[in-house]
Structure 1
Amino acid sequence: MKRQLNARHVYSFMGFWTSLASATMFTTYAVYQVITLGLSPLQLLMVGAVLELTVLIFEGITGVIADVYSRKWSVIIGMFILGVGFVVEGSVQALESSVPLLSAFAWLLVSQVFFGIGYTFTSGADIAWIVDEVGEQEAGRVFLTAKRLSLFGTLAGIGISVGLSTIQSNLPYVAAGLMYLVLGLFLIRYMRETKFVRPEKSEGTPFAHLKNMKGAWLSGAGMIRRHPVLLMLLLVTVFSGAASEGYDRLWQAHLITDIGFPEGITASVAVWVGLIALLSTLVSLPVVWLAEKKLDINSRPLILFSLIVLTALRIGAILLMAFAPGFGWALAAVLLHDTVMTLNGPIYNTWLNQHIESKSRATVISMMSQSDALGQSAGGPLVGWIGNRLSVRASIVASAVLLTPVLGLFARQIRDRAAEKQRE
């Protein structure tokens, strides 16, 4: 491998490797959390609530650090913290035995704090870095290419996850944590930051660093306040986050405990979950490839229309999962939902970055992640309470209901654009 890799290659490899680690960890997470640790629906949502509360607290701080000091080093620090957090999450039973003051569930919550802090260092910083390096016009295409390559990482991670889970259900988390640590070392050597312009620093006061960070935060907040589209996206992210927490945490539990797997086929839960993830990735690959080749990613009206269609399909997929009468319908719901979310990410990131100035890019993106965390931390416990009082199926329906206001917000944006054209 050459010493100098361009930003596109580094970003694509980072997407591939993080997808490899995430698939290794999350493909069979329900086997670990639901079967091995025996978490209830409310406990599953509590895990998510701690994670999102951590993100909510730290997101604004770390986004400002990336804009004031370095996007590159913010990403690298995040990778190391994530690695430690996932190793802890996979070691909660061993930690409970060695440190009996905390239960396995308490250690699980501690790991979510690491996860949340590490995530906040990377979110916003990685996107801000690559947009500055390649330019806004090329960013959309880079996002789609990186997403397509990341799906190959997902394919590999699925196999690793199933294989490790059949040996011991916690091993996927430990392996994924080590992968993040390796990625941090890779980025130290190959990630270059050539286009980032640091803001002028305050001199002569003991609180100069805090003043720099405060100025960056106020600049990002002012940008959102001045742009109605960014305010709208902030609300969209809140509702989307509230909806995603319930579905993401509970669909596997719903499949395992309520729907079940086909009779007559002998396979472990880990194998079934791995096969579903494999099918989902294989379906997503041609869809992303087609979007990469045919979609005009820089057309703002087309991007908005695409987001509306994808949101409607996402709501339909969640409802289909909730009311699936059998495994076949549940599988169709998962495939549709995962394909929609795979395509939604790069399109949303492209539209968002078209409305952000470079100097506050990481801060604004972090604020968006903060609003997502607010939605998840507020919506998650509500959805979990519904699951405990009624059923997991009812929780998933609640997730779809929480997502419906997003369609109204997008529709309002279309009306505002039409009115603006008439005035012109």
Structure 2
Amino acid sequence: MIPSARRVQGVYLTLLLGNTLAASFIWGINTLFLLDAGLTNFEAFAANAFFTAGMVLFEIPTGVVADTIGRRASYLLGTITLSSSTVLYWLLWLWHAPFFWWAVASMLLGLGFTFFSGATDAWMVDALTFTGYKGSLESVFGRALVVTGAAMFAGSVLGGVIAQVTNLGVPFLLRAGVLVLMFVFAFVAMRDVGFTPDRSMGPWRATRNVLSQSIEHGMRKRSVRYVILSAPFASGVGIYAFYALQPYLLELYGDPKAYSVAGLAAAILSLAQAAGGIFAPRLRRLFAKRTTAIIGASLASIVILVAMGLTAFFWFAVVLLVIWGFVFAVAGPVRQAYLNDMIPSQQRATVLSFDSLFGSLGGVVIQPALGRAADLWGYGTSLVIGGAIELIGIPFLLASRRQGDPSDSAGARGDAGETGEAEAAPTTP
């Protein structure tokens, strides 16, 4: 039975909905949670850095799982690992555990997310190709941002309110519970189609092969290489800024215990991202090249970060946060589509994981460095420094643009199939 393009997108969007809802329960309070457990700013962002270090360490091995066992298996393992390590995080908060154990638990959280990174998107792209889908990937990734934005809004608001009514630990237990439900859904609804796992090699040989394929299709192709090399700067700064804005906005607000305000700020960001997801395909058509949209969004992000770091007014910072989220959301689908169009199907999960690995590398170094800057000079100064760091990635994006890859012009004004459904293959009984 050949699934319809609509059903594939439905399953994909449901997976993202559940993952994002689970994750967003703690997005508005995560830094506050770590500080409440007795960690300093440096230790809190160092814990986040160990999370990204776990993603770096496990990206390739979990890429092997996705490409040799299956994308569905990778997703199921991710839900189990992430649910278990979230409960461990809650226990460490109860015990006010020393930093060493936070580092270990954070790396396990990173392991959980690496089972998702690359595998979920690759599953969707291959399944859509299998159905004969002719629409643009920007449209699908744009819908994904709308769904994840709505889930983030609901989860962030609920997480902040529940934390204020109960305590900072309850949202972590809710996250673990939702992940268990997502395991059940994926077990029933998710099937690997359009992709045949290669199980002919043992794990060690497969790992070497995955690394080799990552280098071949991710680093030796210049247009892909430069996009990947830009990832550490944008991702590292973006992760730090997202979590630093929690205590920074409360500082500007004047009440460090107003957890619902922190959750509301994350929710506002989610709405901005949803709006960006809606408009991403339309705004993409304004540019002849995808790299133009990506570079423009990166420059806008830098200006906004600097402005947020310099302001002393809470509501102005919230407005800037909305614009930052919108810019991020517009750039995300375009970048994803650009990369996916340049990567062969068989190596798609591998190279997307490799890209995620480089983004995580930025987080390993940049997060604790900016966290230390926040300890010394305050959150505002650390955001300004973050903007300067993100600027380093712009020359790499310009270098990718200069390669003139055909994928850079795909999906431009006048391309057919933006709606993504009219040309999809019909459902076959």
TM-score norm. by structure 1 comes to 0.86
| 1:182 matches 2:176 | no
Match of 2:204 in 1: 210
Q: 1:404 to 1:75 in 2, by over 3 A?
A: same
Q: 1:296 to 1:391 in 2, by over 3 A?
A: closer
Corresponding pairs, count: 398
Q: Distance in 1 between matches of 2:343 and 2:66?
A: 15
Q: 1:28 to 1:58 in 2, by over 3 A?
A: same
Q: 1:222 to 1:49 in 2, by over 3 A?
A: same
> Once the 2 structures are TM-superposed, how far is the Cα of residue 386 of structure 1 from its aligned partner?
2.4
Give the AA of the match of 1:108: W
Q: Distance in 1 between matches of 2:374 and 2:262?
A: 22
> Once the 2 structures are TM-superposed, how far is the Cα of residue 389 of structure 1 from its aligned partner?
3.2
Q: Distance in 1 between matches of 2:319 and 2:9?
A: 34
Give the AA of the match of 2:107: V
| 1:43 matches 2:43 | yes
Q: Name which of 139, 142, 150 aligns with 1:141.
A: 139
Q: Distance in 1 between matches of 2:308 and 2:266?
A: 15
Work out whether residues 63 and 125 of structure 1, in 8 Å CA contact, stay in contact via their aligned partners in 2: yes
Q: 1:211 to 1:281 in 2, by over 3 A?
A: closer
SS at match of 2:404: helix
SS at match of 1:25: coil
Q: 1:337 to 1:39 in 2, by over 3 A?
A: farther
Give the AA of the match of 1:349: Q
Work out whether residues 91 and 174 of structure 1, in 8 Å CA contact, stay in contact via their aligned partners in 2: no
Match of 2:253 in 1: 260
**For residues 171-250 of structure 1, what are the structure 2 equivalents within 5 Å?**
171-199=170-198, 201-202=200-201, 208-250=202-244
* Deviation readout 1:344-363 (Å, 9 max, x if unpaired): 32221111101101111111
SS at match of 1:196: coil
TM-score norm. by structure 2 comes to 0.86
| 1:82 matches 2:96 | no
SS at match of 2:323: helix
Q: Name which of 367, 380, 384 aligns with 1:393.
A: 380
Q: Distance in 2 between matches of 1:123 and 1:91?
A: 26
Q: Distance in 2 between matches of 1:375 and 1:63?
A: 19
> Once the 2 structures are TM-superposed, how far is the Cα of residue 85 of structure 1 from its aligned partner?
1.4
> Once the 2 structures are TM-superposed, how far is the Cα of residue 382 of structure 1 from its aligned partner?
2.1
Match of 2:122 in 1: 128
Work out whether residues 21 and 177 of structure 1, in 8 Å CA contact, stay in contact via their aligned partners in 2: yes
Between stretches 187-196 and 137-146, larger displacement belongs to: 137-146
> Once the 2 structures are TM-superposed, how far is the Cα of residue 130 of structure 1 from its aligned partner?
0.7
> Once the 2 structures are TM-superposed, how far is the Cα of residue 159 of structure 1 from its aligned partner?
3.0
Q: 1:284 to 1:246 in 2, by over 3 A?
A: closer
Q: Name which of 261, 266, 276 aligns with 1:272.
A: 261
> Once the 2 structures are TM-superposed, how far is the Cα of residue 231 of structure 1 from its aligned partner?
0.9
Match of 2:29 in 1: 28
> Once the 2 structures are TM-superposed, how far is the Cα of residue 37 of structure 1 from its aligned partner?
2.1
Q: Distance in 2 between matches of 1:187 and 1:319?
A: 41
> Once the 2 structures are TM-superposed, how far is the Cα of residue 137 of structure 1 from its aligned partner?
5.0
> Once the 2 structures are TM-superposed, how far is the Cα of residue 13 of structure 1 from its aligned partner?
0.5
Q: 1:29 to 1:242 in 2, by over 3 A?
A: closer
Q: 1:261 to 1:283 in 2, by over 3 A?
A: farther
Structure 1, unpaired ranges of 5+: 97-102, 203-207
Give the AA of the match of 2:379: V
Match of 1:344 in 2: 331
> Once the 2 structures are TM-superposed, how far is the Cα of residue 301 of structure 1 from its aligned partner?
4.1
**For residues 321-336 of structure 1, what are the structure 2 equivalents within 5 Å?**
321-336=308-323
Give the AA of the match of 2:232: V
Work out whether residues 89 and 107 of structure 1, in 8 Å CA contact, stay in contact via their aligned partners in 2: no
> Once the 2 structures are TM-superposed, how far is the Cα of residue 372 of structure 1 from its aligned partner?
1.0
Q: Name which of 269, 276, 287 aligns with 1:287.
A: 276
Work out whether residues 68 and 216 of structure 1, in 8 Å CA contact, stay in contact via their aligned partners in 2: no
SS at match of 1:90: helix
> Once the 2 structures are TM-superposed, how far is the Cα of residue 409 of structure 1 from its aligned partner?
2.2
Match of 1:205 in 2: none
Between stretches 144-153 and 121-130, larger displacement belongs to: 144-153
Q: Name which of 152, 157, 160 aligns with 1:159.
A: 157
> Once the 2 structures are TM-superposed, how far is the Cα of residue 131 of structure 1 from its aligned partner?
0.7
| 1:93 matches 2:87 | no
Q: Distance in 2 between matches of 1:59 and 1:163?
A: 34
Give the AA of the match of 1:327: F
> Once the 2 structures are TM-superposed, how far is the Cα of residue 397 of structure 1 from its aligned partner?
1.6
Q: Distance in 2 between matches of 1:21 and 1:343?
A: 23
> Once the 2 structures are TM-superposed, how far is the Cα of residue 228 of structure 1 from its aligned partner?
0.4
Q: Distance in 1 between matches of 2:400 and 2:210?
A: 28
> How many percent of aligned residue pairs carry the same amino acid?
20
Give the AA of the match of 1:324: T
* Deviation readout 1:386-413 (Å, 9 max, x if unpaired): 2333333222222111100222222333
Match of 2:72 in 1: 72
Q: Distance in 1 between matches of 2:215 and 2:106?
A: 27
> Once the 2 structures are TM-superposed, how far is the Cα of residue 104 of structure 1 from its aligned partner?
5.1
**For residues 97-108 of structure 1, what are the structure 2 equivalents within 5 Å?**
103=97, 105-108=99-102
* Deviation readout 1:138-190 (Å, 9 max, x if unpaired): 43322111211222212221232123202111111111121112111210111
Q: 1:365 to 1:406 in 2, by over 3 A?
A: same
Q: CA RMSD in A?
A: 2.6
* Deviation readout 1:30-52 (Å, 9 max, x if unpaired): 43223x22432211221111111
Match of 1:100 in 2: none
